[in-house]
Amino acid sequence: MTAPALPRRVGLGGATLLSFNGAVGAAVFALPATLDDSVGAWAPWLFPAAALVMLLIAIPFARAIASMPGEGGPVVYGSAFGRAAGFELGWTYYVARVSAFAANVHVLIDYMLRWVEVSPSPWVRSALILAAILLLAGANVVGMTRALRLLGGLTLLKSLPLILLALLALATFPLPTQGSPPPLTAVEASVLLVFYAFIGFESSIAVSGEAKDGGASIAKGLLLTIAVIALLYLLVQLAYSAVSPSVEEGEKAPLLALGRDLFGAPGALLVLLAAVASLAGNLHANLAATPRVSHALAMRGDLPDWLAAVHPRFLSPHRSIWLMAGLAALLALSGTFVWLAVVSTLARMGVYAVTIAAWLKVARRTAGEMALGGLGILLCALVSTQASAAAWVTLAGLGLAGLILFWLSSGRRRKT
C-alpha cells in the first residue's frame, strides 16, 4: 500500500495543545468541589504532588516517544514486541478513545443546553449530537494546521475565564487556612482522583509521525502539559477553597457557583462558556489525533487500504477521520459507549507501560534509565489495580476482538 505521507506540521505548540486538551475536559469544573469536601484547604497541594508522581511515568514515556517516532503512536511502540502486539495496543487505545469521545459529546450537549434551560425531545438531542460530531470532523478534515488554530482558540476560551476568576478570587478573599490534616484514607482517595486528572496527556502521541522534529516536540509537549495542568488546577483549587461557594443541590459543574459568587449571573455564564469550550477542545483534540491510529494500521496493511487515503487538497487522513466520527456517533446515539468507556484509563496505563518497556527493549539503556523505566512500569501496574472488574473484562473482550481482526487482516495480506 502506497499513499502520500502526512505532512510534518506539528511543533511544540501544537503538541502541547493536543496533550493539554486531551487531559482537561469536564473534570476541572467538578473536581474542585469534590476535593474541597474531602480534604478541605489541603486540596490545592495535591496537584503538585500528583504531578510529581505522574512525572515518574511521563519522563521515561516521553523519552520513549522521542526515540521511537512514527505515525500511529501505540502501533509503533507495541510493534517492538511483534506486529500482533502493535495491532493490539493500537486497537485497544483506538476503541478507548472513540468511546471516551462518545461519552464526552453527551456532556458537551448537556452543558450547551444550560443556555436555553429547556429539556429537548430525544430526536432534537440526537440531532445536536450529530451536528457537533459533523462540525468537529469537518474542522479536522481541512488539515492539521487549521485544526490546531481552532484548538488554540478553544484553549484560550476555556483557560482565560478560569484564570481570571481564580486571580480575582485570590485577590478578594484570603487564602484558605489549613487546619489539622485530613484522615489518611481521604488523602489516599483524593490523590488517586487528582492523578486521574492528568490522564490524557498522551493524546499527541498518535501524531508523532507528523512532528517537525521527529518526535522530540511531542515528548517536550507531554512534560510541559503536566506542568501546565498542575498549575491550572492548583490556581483554580486555591480560589475555590478560598471562596467556598454555595453549591446548588445536584449541580454537576460546581465551579459555576464560584463564578456566580464573584460576578453573579454573568460570572456563572462565563464559567459555562469556559466549560463548553473545554469540552469542545477535548473532543476536537481527540478527533485530531486518534484517527492517525487507524490510518497507520491501514498503511501497514492491518486495516482496509481505503483508510490509508490522504485528502489530495488538505493532506489529512480524511477517511479515517470520518470513520471515527461515524463510530463515535453510533456509540453516542446507541448508548453502548458506557460499557466501553470503563476501559479508557486502563487502556492508557497499558499504553504507558508497553511504550516504556519498548524503549527499554529496543536499545541498551544505562542502569539509571532501566531503574527509571522500571519504576514507571510499576506505577502503571499499581494504578491498574484500581480498575474495576468490568474494566478488566472489557479489556479482555477487546483484546480477543483485536486478535480476530488481526487474524482476518493476516489472511487478506497473504492473498494480496
- Per-residue pLDDT of the chain in tens (416 residues, 90 and over written 9): 456 678 899 999 999 999 999 999 988 998 998 898 888 888 999 999 999 999 999 999 999 999 888 888 999 999 999 999 999 999 999 999 999 999 999 999 988 888 776 777 889 999 999 999 999 999 999 999 999 999 999 999 999 999 999 999 999 998 877 767 778 777 888 888 899 999 999 999 999 989 988 789 999 999 999 999 999 999 999 999 999 888 776 677 888 889 989 889 899 899 999 999 999 999 999 999 999 999 999 998 899 889 999 999 999 999 999 999 999 999 999 988 888 888 999 999 999 999 999 999 987 788 999 999 999 999 999 999 988 899 999 999 999 999 998 988 876 666 65
Give bridge partners of residue 10 from the DSSP assignment: 211
d(CA 280, CA 21): 9
d(CA 134, CA 103): 16
Task: Write down the pTM of the prediction.
Answer: 0.93
Class assignment of domain 12-415?
mainly alpha
Under 8 Å between Cβ of 384 and 349:
yes
Under 8 Å between Cβ of 352 and 93:
no
Cell, residue 111: 452543558
Give bridge partners of residue 244 from the DSSP assignment: none
Domain positions in the chain are: 12-415
Residue 220 CB neighbours (<10 A): 18
Among residues 205, 78, 297, the alpha carbon closest in space to that of 308 is found at 297
